[in-house]
């Protein structure tokens, strides 16, 4: 497949698209990491709240509604921790970081391709990168918020 004159604009488009996907994925991962951090902190706070509620209930004057407020906060924190663990957020973050690393690697490889002088090497490298890109989208399509119009994966026809 000879695209000696036509692959350069496609490579530039690939680099721009991959970098856009990387920025979007980083923003999404930042939001997920923020939720994850809150859930982990809540997991640490739950025993403290529960313990303070027990201690406050032993006092004769327990200061109004502290046991009720503490119970509500404990319940909310427990729900956050359960969601965090149930969704396996840590495993998801690992997959997202792996996808981001592959995105960067692909973008850098396409950028290096633009500086390749030998047409036969450039053509072979281009074909290899295109195959890597298809594999990337197949592997990480459910992990990252990628642009659906840029997906190179053929979607199966409904049966």
In-domain check, residue 152 = no
Contacts of 126 (CB under 8 A, 6+ apart): 3, 7, 11, 113
Task: Please state the domain count of the chain.
Answer: 1
Q: Cα 109 to the chain's mean position, in Å?
A: 22
d(CA 141, CA 147): 10
Instruction: Tell me the residue range of the domain where 27 lies.
Output: 7-147
Domain assignment present for residue 115? The answer is yes
| Residue 159 is assigned to a structural domain of this protein | no
Q: If you average pLDDT over residues 115-130, what whole number do you get?
A: 83
59's enclosing H/E stretch is none
Yes or no: say if 20 and 150 are a contact pair by the CB < 8 Å rule. no
Q: What is the mean pLDDT of the chain?
A: 77
- Residue 145 has what pLDDT? 67
Is residue 137 domain-resident?
A: yes
Give the model confidence (pLDDT) of 16-33 as tens digits: 888 888 888 888 888 888
Give Rg (Cα) of the chain. 25
């Amino acid at each position: 497949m000879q695209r000696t004159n036509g692959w350069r604009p496609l490579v530039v488009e690939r680099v721009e698209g991959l970098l856009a996907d990387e920025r979007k994925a980083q923003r999404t991962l930042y939001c997920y990491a923020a939720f994850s951090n809150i859930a982990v902190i809540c997991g640490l706070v739950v025993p403290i709240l529960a313990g303070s509620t027990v201690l406050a209930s032993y006092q004769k004057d327990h200061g109004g509604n502290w046991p009720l407020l503490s119970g509500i906060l404990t319940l909310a924190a427990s729900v956050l921790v359960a969601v965090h663990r149930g969704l396996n957020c840590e495993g998801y973050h690992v997959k997202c970081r792996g996808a981001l690393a592959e995105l960067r690697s692909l973008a850098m490889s396409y950028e290096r391709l633009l500086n390749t002088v030998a047409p036969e090497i450039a053509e072979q490298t281009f074909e290899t990168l295109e195959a890597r890109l298809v594999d990337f989208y197949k592997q990480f399509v459910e992990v990252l918020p990628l642009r659906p119009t840029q997906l190179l994966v053929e979607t199966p026809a409904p049966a």
